[in-house]
């Protein structure tokens, strides 16, 4: 029912800030507000993906050339979330 309410609302102008929209409509759409904030907010830059790609290049070396993708993903995840 909440999703129907969200999808039946009139479209907002393209220049309106999505965070302003969710602040104004967050109470009405409370069950999906957090979900939308997490998945509909796209970073404005690619720096995070570039950092991850760079870190992967540092992990994969001549000695670790046979490292399986599964373990590389684990190492990248741990490296990213270690100090957070």
Tell me the pLDDT tens digit for each residue of 11-53: 766 567 777 877 787 787 788 877 777 777 676 778 888 888 8
Please state the pTM of the whole predicted model.
0.43
Q: How far apart are CA 76 and CA 70, in angstroms?
A: 10
- Is the pLDDT at 84 greater than 60, yes or no? no
Burial of 56 (0-12, 13-18, 19+ CB in 10 A): middle
* Cα angle value 41/43/47 (rounded, 5°): 165
The separation between CA 84 and the C-alpha centre of its own chain, rounded to angstroms, equals: 15
pLDDT of res. 15: 62
> pLDDT confidence of 56, banded at 50, 70, 90?
confident
């Amino acid at each position: 029912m909440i999703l129907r309410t969200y999808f039946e609302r009139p479209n907002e102008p393209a220049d309106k800030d999505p965070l302003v929209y969710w602040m104004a409509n967050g109470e009405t759409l409370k069950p999906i507000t957090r979900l939308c904030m997490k998945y509909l907010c796209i970073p404005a830059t690619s720096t995070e993906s570039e950092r991850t790609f760079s870190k992967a290049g540092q992990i994969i070396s001549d000695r670790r050339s046979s490292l399986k993708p599964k373990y590389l993903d684990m190492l990248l995840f741990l490296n990213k979330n270690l100090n957070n």
